[in-house]
Amino acid sequence: MSPHPTRLASLFVTCAFGLGTACSGARNSSNEQLPAGQGRLAVALVDAPNPDVSQIVVNITKVTAHSTAAGWVTVSPASVTPATPLTVDLLTLQGTALDLGFLNLPPGTITQIRLYVSREDNYVVLTDGKVSVPLKVPSGSESGIKIKGPWEIAACSQTNVTLDFDGKKSIWYHPAHQGSEWILRPVIRTKKILAVATGCSSGDDAGSGTSGPQVCDPTTAQCPQDFVCTAVGESAVCLGGPDAPCTWGSECVNGTCDPTTARCQGGLGAPCGEASACVIGTCVAGTCAPGGADEPCGRGDDCESGICSEGTCTAPSTAGGADHPCTVATQLDDCYSRACGADLTCEPGGQGDQCELDGDCQEGTPCVFAGESPTGTCVLVTAAQ
């Protein structure tokens, strides 16, 4: 039987990028200046009332983001782990916000945020308060719930981004022999972007790593141990190979620095003892293996498809824009917007969604193309203040 939507509240993810205050309910940093040239990324959750269920409980194990300047970084605090997750009843976040963590970053573009949720112990409680039903998150624990950008982090400025999690289209149930199986298939769109100029410190307290990698001569390749002389533009610099020390992903050959070990992760074919040693998170027989669609990557050969776009493996897509035929059961694969309308055609996309025409995007969100790519990205026009 086809899955049917149940009417659920909307969940809003509010993300503040840059300096200054974080989101409503998050840590107040309005009086705090950051190191010169740095910005800040902060992530929080809010929710709205729900007439059909009394609780929606999820266990968050990690929040990460991909920065063009720093690679993949962990935003959530060290205390949030698979063993000690952050347990959240989304319906308690009505009119307030839950701080998921924040991180200072160099200027650049955030291309994606990933919210990792544990495979077990997530559930919904129906309105009678008596029935608790397990809530399955098919991709939440392995590759994370993906929220696509782009969002800019500029030096000495703050960008506030509000993301709308469409609960009505994100939580589904399948009738089963005993009760119903509830599944979370997130549909998330950007609702608002606000850029605000702030200030920076003098620069005396600038953090480590801001001086950049060591310049090298590719003919002699004289780099420290575990580092590789790598061509970057018209010059060459020493970038970290697998297991080299690092602060940012931009210091590593494959663009990813593991924040838990402060070591560069390896690309395809690199030796590994565990999955965390690989950019793509797949270690097979002691060697980093290629990743599938939506897995993290540093370059094309990290992916089965050979395509690494903005730090994520991509595959040839059969999806389409607005008015493309779809079904609610396959909307994540059928639609660039990942949302199928009542007329069984794809709805226009929001911030970060793929597109071919302006008509594939919501009003005020034009389709912007980069280079000669046949598809573009829906980009919400930023309101300056």
How far is it, in rounded angstroms, from Cα 40 to Cα 201?
14
**Do 24 and 114 fall within a single domain?**
yes
CA 305 to chain centre: 20
Structure tokens of 1? 């039987």
- The reply to whether 214 falls in a domain is no
**Do 299 and 327 fall within a single domain?**
no
Give the domain extent around 67: 4-197
Determine which helix (DSSP H) or strand (DSSP E) holds 169, and give its type and residue range.
helix 167-170
Answer with the one of 142, 176, 197 that is the final residue of a domain.
197
Q: Find out whether the peptide bond into 224 is cis, omega within 30 degrees of 0.
A: no
pLDDT of residue 33: 62
Dihedral angle, C-alpha 328, 329, 333, 336, nearest 10 °: 10
pLDDT of residue 141: 59
What does 63-89 look like in DSSP terms, one character per residue? EEEEETTTEEEE-S-TT--SSS-EEEE
Type of residue found at 100: L
**Do 62 and 183 fall within a single domain?**
yes
Determine which helix (DSSP H) or strand (DSSP E) holds 332, and give its type and residue range.
helix 331-334
- The reply to whether 29 falls in a domain is yes
**Do 109 and 10 fall within a single domain?**
yes
**Do 239 and 186 fall within a single domain?**
no
- The reply to whether 216 falls in a domain is no
**Do 309 and 326 fall within a single domain?**
no
Determine which helix (DSSP H) or strand (DSSP E) holds 167, and give its type and residue range.
helix 167-170
pLDDT of residue 174: 62
**Do 305 and 328 fall within a single domain?**
no
Strands 188-197 and 383-384: parallel
Structure tokens of 49? 């009332």
Per residue in 112-164, pLDDT (tens digit) is: 888 888 888 888 887 776 778 888 877 555 777 778 778 888 777 766 666 56
**Do 36 and 176 fall within a single domain?**
yes
- The reply to whether 38 falls in a domain is yes
Question: What residues contact 249, with CB distance under 8 A and at least 6 apart?
Answer: 67, 70, 71, 72, 73, 255, 256, 257, 298
Dihedral angle, C-alpha 169, 174, 180, 184, nearest 10 °: -40
**Do 42 and 124 fall within a single domain?**
yes
How far is it, in rounded angstroms, from Cα 152 to Cα 223?
32
Strands 227-232 and 171-175: unpaired
pLDDT of residue 9: 31
pTM over 0.85: no
Instruction: Check: CB of residue 102 under 8 Å from CB of residue 40.
Output: yes
**Do 146 and 254 fall within a single domain?**
no
Instruction: Check: CB of residue 40 under 8 Å from CB of residue 105.
Output: yes
Answer with the one of 290, 313, 336 that is the final residue of a domain.
313
Determine which helix (DSSP H) or strand (DSSP E) holds 42, and give its type and residue range.
strand 39-47
38: exposed, middle or buried (C-beta count within 10 Å: 0-12, 13-18, 19+)?
buried
- The reply to whether 213 falls in a domain is no
Determine which helix (DSSP H) or strand (DSSP E) holds 208, and give its type and residue range.
none
Per residue in 1-17, pLDDT (tens digit) is: 333 333 333 333 343 33
- The reply to whether 206 falls in a domain is no
Instruction: Check: CB of residue 320 under 8 Å from CB of residue 298.
Output: no
pLDDT of residue 360: 92
Type of residue found at 144: G
pLDDT of residue 288: 81
Residue with tokens 């200030």: 199
Type of residue found at 82: P
**Do 103 and 248 fall within a single domain?**
no
pLDDT of residue 345: 92
**Could you state, in chain order, the average pLDDT of each consecutive group of 10 residues for the chain (385 residues)?**
34 33 37 61 54 78 82 80 87 67 76 84 79 75 76 74 61 60 69 63 42 68 80 72 78 74 78 73 80 72 71 72 88 86 89 86 84 75 54
- The reply to whether 238 falls in a domain is yes
Answer with the one of 197, 212, 241 that is the final residue of a domain.
197
pLDDT of residue 272: 77
Give the CA distances from residue 376 to residues 52, 272, 309, 314, in Å, rounded to whole numbers and listed in that order.
38, 36, 12, 14
**Do 181 and 262 fall within a single domain?**
no
Q: What angle (nearest 5°) sits at the alpha carbon of residue 46, between those of residues 40 and 52? A: 160
Per the structure, the count of domains in the chain is: 3
CA 289 to chain centre: 22
How far is it, in rounded angstroms, from Cα 128 to Cα 80?
32
- The reply to whether 182 falls in a domain is yes
